[in-house]
Amino acid sequence: MRRPWRQPAPAAAAAAPRHGAADLCLREVGDLLPRRFARRAAGSEDLVKRLQIHQKLDKHTGCVNTVAFNEVGDTLISGSDDQMVMLWNWDTGNIKLEFHSGHVRLAKIKDGGDVSTTLLGEHEGRSHNLAIEPGSPYIFYSCGEDGLVQHFDLRTNTATKLFLCRSSFSKSGFSSCVHLNTIAIDPRNPNLFAVGGHNAYARVYDIRKHTWDGSSDSGHPSDCYCPPHLVDDKRVGITGLAFSHLSELLASYNEENIYLFPKNGGLGSDPKSIKIGVNEWCKSTMGQDFAQPKPTPQVYVGHENRETVKRVTFIGPNDEYVASGSDCGRIFIWRKTDGCFLRAMEGDECVVNCIEPHPHDMTIASSGIDNDVKIWTPFAIERTPTILIKPEWWRPRKRRVKFWNFEEMFLRNFVVSGRRQQSDEEDSSEDLLYSSGLLNLVAAADGSVSSADDEETSGSEE
């Protein structure tokens, strides 16, 4: 006898949108599996409408550039311009551990809280993003503004330089390096990873095509993704990439929108052989044209992405939603399936750059220009109504200089100068000049903050 909870629901009922109460009834009569009910409840749109700030983690003294939850979800890690790495109990706001960071380093946490770091690799310029291979505690990738993509294996503590990402897709001839901002791994097929940067194309590579002796041209992509109207547009670039659990590729463009490309919806390994039409994309091969209709990528509009390198991500247990920061200091959330705008939440004084979803719950961590990390949980009593995107949101906010940052920097450098003088037993004249320069910097900053505040006050009075 078939168990009642395995009885399939009618097709019409399955296609219709359901609310929490309806899902509960279906679970009780056996038409919805308990596990599926739990996942659907965790991704409910009602929870998105109830997100509010639960905690502010405010121990950093610089912009917070990266945040991530551990696999269990009880610890959040953050990195900042202050070069400190902090591990948090995000629910209580307490710091579990903090230590000084470096380049691409491996940090080993010992008993008693001692931390030792080992340099694994470097980039010439900034490296905005790492990608950890799903299911592996040893392998990860990095990319940087130097165009270099590196592969790391913690079992060997070495870095393998895979390739330099080039602006041209041809295997021969000179082409400039693409400054890379982001890298992501396909969770369904960890052999595939995508990179994006100062170029309109999101390039997907297959690590299986790389030979470790460096004899192959692994810098040639397996597939490329780009919205039809942005092909060969040199004014745009990609700041964030993310793969869904269905191998869909999400790409956020600077001074443009966010696009979701379906699996196998790319342009091929050499987009220059692609003819782009208004309603379909066709590939020219061996002098013959074969019509291959490509689905139009889903677009998500409303946020502003000009000032900084912003990431993009999915939220929800089944990637039901798309989320991104904005130059207006808000977090934007859209429904994935149809691009419907759902919410804009105040997340920063100036710009939101990073949004990280909790691995299991409808909980989000966000960070940006502010010196804190904000934790969002769906416990608001009232649902936030859906509102229209307002044009005034697109006006970038001015970042205020905070005097206490300069004061803390001065104190830290003063202590370092004292220690250096004590250990080296050198003439103190250089340190005195250095400290005087810092004092002048602090005084100048104090004056600039006061004048800026005065201007704002006088402007508001008018």
Chain segment 355-386, per-residue pLDDT in tens: 999 998 999 999 999 999 999 999 999 998 87
C-alpha distances out from residue 406 to 59, 62, 292, 341, 453, Å: 15, 11, 58, 39, 17
Mean pLDDT value across residues 341-364: 94
User: Is 90 exceeded by the pLDDT of residue 62?
Assistant: yes
What are the tens digits of pLDDT across the range 320-339? 999 999 999 999 999 999 99
Q: How confident is the model at residue 23 (pLDDT cuts 50, 70, 90)?
A: confident
pLDDT at 148: 92
Considering the domain architecture, whether residues 384 and 411 belong to the same structural domain is answered as: no
Are 299 and 441 members of one domain?
Answer: no
Residue 100 — pLDDT band, cuts 50, 70, 90? confident
> What is the tally of structural domains in the chain?
3
What's the whole-number mean pLDDT along residues 126-154? 91
Highest mean pLDDT pick, 17-21, 200-204, 230-234: 200-204
Question: Residue 140: its pLDDT value, please?
Answer: 93
Percent of the chain with pLDDT over 70: 71
Contacts of 249 (CB under 8 A, 6+ apart): 184, 194, 202, 204, 225, 241, 242, 243, 260, 261, 263
Residues 291 and 369 both lie in one domain:
yes
- Please check whether residues 429 and 386 belong to one and the same domain: no
Residues 456, 316 share a domain: no
Are 260 and 280 spatial neighbours (Cβ–Cβ below 8 Å)?
Answer: no
At which residue do the structure tokens 């960890």 appear?
Answer: 190
- Tell me the CATH number at 264: 2.130.10.10
* pLDDT at residue 327, rounded to an integer: 93
Q: Which domain holds residue 162?
A: 47-394
239-291 confidence digits (pLDDT tens): 999 999 999 999 999 999 999 999 989 999 887 765 554 444 444 333 344 45
- List, in order, residues 6 or more apart from 195 with CB less than 8 Å away: 143, 149, 165, 180, 182, 183, 202, 203, 205, 241
Q: Say if residue 185 is in the same domain as residue 79.
A: yes
Residue 383 shares a structural domain with residue 433: no
Domain shared by 60 and 36, yes or no: no
> And the tokens for 422?
């004590």
Interval 410-428 mean pLDDT = 43
Mean pLDDT of 105-134: 84
Structure token pair of residue 278: 């208004």
Average pLDDT over the chain, rounded to an integer: 78
What lies within 8 Å, CB to CB, of 32 at 6+ separation is 5, 9, 23, 26, 40
Domain co-membership, 37 together with 64: no
pLDDT for 111 equals 78
- On whether both 107 and 201 belong to a single domain, the answer is yes
Task: Give the end of a domain, one of 374, 394, 414.
Answer: 394
- Is the Cβ–Cβ distance between 56 and 372 less than 8 Å? yes
What's residue 425's pLDDT? 44
Torsion angle of C-alpha atoms 247, 252, 253, 259, degrees rounded to 10: 60
Q: Are residues 347 and 446 in the same domain?
A: no
pLDDT for the residue 117? 78
Q: Which of 49-53, 219-223, 403-407 has the highest mean pLDDT?
A: 49-53
The pair of three-digit structure tokens given for residue 226, joined into one six-digit string: 């780009």
For residue 12, pLDDT over 50 is answered with: no
- For residue 404, how many other CB atoms are within 10 A of its CB? 10
